[in-house]
Structure formats: C-alpha cells, structure tokens
Structure 1
Amino acid sequence: MTNGSLFELQQFETKYVPQINGTLAALTQQWVDQPILRDAMAYSVNAGGKRLRPLLTLAVLTTYQQALSDGQLMAASALELLHTYSLIHDDLPAMDNDDLRRGVATNHIKFGAGMATLAGDGLLTLAFQWLSEAELPGAQRLALIQGLSQAAGPAGMVAGQAQDISSEHQQLTLPQLAKLHRQKTGALLHYAVQAGCIMGEVSDEEQALLLEFADQFGLAYQIYDDLLDVTATTEQLGKKTHKDAQEAKNTYPGLLGVAGTKTRLQQVINAALSALSQLEQVSQRDVSLLASFCRYFKI
C-alpha cells in the first residue's frame, strides 16, 4: 500500500471543499428564519476550516467508487454543522473562554454569549434536520441519525468534553487521556468514516477496518492538536496557543514531553495506516486517498 501523497489529498480538497462550502452556504438562504440568528450561524460556518470531517466521509465513498449524489453531500455536510456548533460552545466564556477561532473573533465576541449559544443550538439541531431530509434511502437516514446522535451525545463528544472539564488540575494516566480524546475529538471523526460506510453500503468486515483507521486517525488528530498548542504560534493556528498548560489541562506533551509526544503520534499514525493496509488486502481496493489524510500530520 502506498501511504498516499499530499498532492492526492490536495487534489481531493480542491475538488470537494467548494462543493461542501456551497452546500453549507445554503443555510443562509433557506434554512434559518431569524436574521440575527442566521448571521450568527453563518458567521462560524463560513469562517473557514479544513472541512476534514465531511471530506473523510466523501473519501470513503470515493474509495468505494460511489458517484456522489446531492443527498450524500448534504449528509456529509451536516457533520460540519454539528462540528461548528461544538466549536462555538467550546469557545464560550463558561467553557474555554476563547476570543479567537480560525483567525477571527469567536462567535460570542461577535454576537454576544446568548446569541452564540443559540447559534450553536441552531446548528446542532439543523444537522439532524439535514440528515432526516437528505435524499437517501430511509434506512440510511436512520442509521446516520443514530450514529451521529451517539457520537455527539453523552456517550461521545459531550462526555469527553465533560471529562476534560472535570479533569482539570488532576493528572490522568495515558489510557485515561486516550479515552478522553476518543470521546472529545475522536467520536466525530469515527462517525465521519462510519457515515461513508453507511452510505457506501460497506461490508461489516471492511467497515471494522475502516473504523479502526478512523479511531487511530482521531487519536492522532488530538495528539497533534496538543502538540501544536505547544509548538505553533497563534498566527499559524488562528487561535490562542499555550492555553492547555495555563489551564492545567491534561495533554500528551504534559505527560510525555514534546519528543515523547512526537514518538507517540508516529506510532498512532502507523496503526492507522496498518488498518488501511489490511483493508486493501481484504477489499482489493485502492486506499491511497484515505491514507493521504495522514499527511495532515507534520511531525
């Protein structure tokens, strides 16, 4: 198996990010009635971002040679709505109290904490409306709604966020930290791949390998985020850095140091690629596009 090239990933992004953005832009035209709420929701959705989660969904479908439909694009983009809600709420004064996200003022700085909370509420709810109304078979719509409910709810992302808050000023073990990250960050990335499997009607055996890749990728993503908080600048990330240590949060650099974190990151990336290698053997499909997502991590 080739590890996938950065050029392959860039080509994929060039093709599909505009389509995702176009789908997301529709919410300002037809999905929200209240003008200020619509502006607040659109502000954060359109502030940029990698669109990594819907891209992962579309990459699974592309790997399985699916001609992408408008319904699949809408369902994939729904995840970006929910992800954006989580960022808005994460930035609120009652949570991380951040004033910069993606290089611009956070939603509550721009619109106030009350309207920002409502914008997040609106995006969360709209994500499920999009899934329920996407032009897909009914069984697929139900499976997507169930999957996203579990990933985003009190057994997934919300649980991870709660654990993150309750663990401040407490030293977690490495397994405890990994579990926290699997929920807080990994759950939505797991679902992103799961959604592609659902819409692509992937077999149980191959889905298991894809989800193993997703889980390792999700852990790598959070480890890398921890690392960048220590090594990158505010200008590079578009958000404040060095906040984790200031707030006594549990991070990989805090437990392992920078060098140890880089070593652990490489181990997790290798595990993600190993799952794809097994998938290639089982499915006889070209998995280089999915492997190219691991080029996101620059160690």
Structure 2
Amino acid sequence: MIAALVSVEIYCRIANSGKLKIKMPDSVPPNVAGTFELLLPAVITILIVSGFGMIFQYATSYTISEAINAVIQKPLTGLLTGLPGYLLIFGLSTCFWVIGIHGTNVLKPVYQATTLQAILANTEAVSNGQTPQYILNDTFISCFTTCGGAGCTIGLIVAILIFSKRDDYQTIAKLSLLPGVFNINETMTFGLPVVLNPMMAIPFILAPIASATFAYFMTTIGFCGMMVYAVPWTTPPLLIAWLGTGGNIGAVITQFICICLSFVIYLPFVLISNKQKVEA
C-alpha cells in the first residue's frame, strides 16, 4: 500500500511537470507517441522506489516488507492470538457498527492477515501430524464471534420471533432469518435497526464478547475442537463448526450453546422493546 501510494505520487509529479517527455514527430500515431512521452517518468519512478528499497536493505539488513513484518505484523500476531486483544478488536468493531460505521470492513485489514495466518498454520500442523497452536483464527471468528453476522444477531432474531410483540420487529426478523442463517445481517443492523439504537447497542456489543470468551474456554479445556480448516464465512451455523474442526461434535455443541447464550443476552432487551411506543 505504501509503495503504491508513493510510487504513483512520484510518477504523477514527474509526468505532470512535462520536463521529461520524449517528443515524437507528428507523423507518429498519438497512441504510440503517448507511450514514449511517459516512458522516462515511469523509468525514473521505478529507479527511485527500487533504489530506496536497496538502500534500506543495505542499511538495515531487512527488506521493507521484512521490517514491516517485524515491527507491525509480529506484535499484532501476539495481540490478536491472545484473548484480551481479540476481544478488544471485536468490541471496537461492534462499537463502530452501532454508530453507523461498518466495523468489520474498517478493522478487517488490521486483523485478517493475522487470523488467516493462524488458520493456515493450524491446517499445516494437522497435515503434518502435529498439534495446532492457534485457538483464535479466521474460522473461529465466523463460528463464534460473528455467528449470524456482526453482534451474533442470530440470537436476536430468535428472541424476536419467539417473544417480541411488535409487528415491526416481527416483520424484520422474518425477513432476516434466511440471510442470518448465512451470517448476513444488514437487514437487522439497518432495518430493525441496531445502528444508532442505544438499547440494542448493549447486547450487540456484549453477545460476541460472551460467545467468543465461552468458546475460547471450551477449546482450552478440550471440549471444543480447535478450528483447523478455513471455511467460508457464509457457511451456516453448526455446519461451520463441524467443517472447521474436521468433524468435532464438541465444537458443534459449543456453537449451539453460544447461540443460546446470545439469545439469553438479547432477550431482556427484546422484552423491554415490547413496552416501547412504536412511532408511526
């Protein structure tokens, strides 16, 4: 990203200056002449960027990518593969959601490289007959932290369908049930809504934290199998637990309990919403 931004800026400044254009005769077709006019700016940009990379490597004995990995990626790996840092990231994600910012898209660049690396390391370990090391990984997120979508709203849908007396909530929940099975919940977050709704914001933040913490504990004690295979995030609940662990029934039971836990967390707020006056 840094190289792309810097190189494009250098190239545009050199090209727009007009001082290094190779002017061709008028008989040369415009498309060919245009290529030659921008040849020197492109060559100079490549020399500047690659030259800086060579100097940096000579001075530090690291390539720029290796330095970024050492300074940023490794500390993030330590943070995101530990439960406190993991809960902090996804707590922030849900906080962004409730103020109208797509928390998943905002924070995914921060954590996805680390969580993908963790699940791939687990897969490689299992393939080599070794014990996987990373409980918190990309499949763990889909299975236990964003089950039904951000905020574990599958529990909210069930709570509304069973206990809500509001027609508007019932309508939105029925529309959201099928997408929710595939972990898509924008109909809930923006339709119910959860966004800018102070009351629903509380369980929306608490449910994924409680679910992830419980699943982490169950994995630690060995009841829930560790996620060792990358599974698409749209895989339905229970099935994703089975596939992600390579067929561990404890993981399926754990995810079911997590869904029940999110249901219990959302339920009091659904009951309170029954007493709210619906504005026309």
Provide the TM-score with structure 1 as the length reference: 0.30
Higher relative contact order (CA 8 A, sep 6+): 1
Which has the higher Rg, Structure 1 or Structure 2? 2
Provide the TM-score with structure 2 as the length reference: 0.31
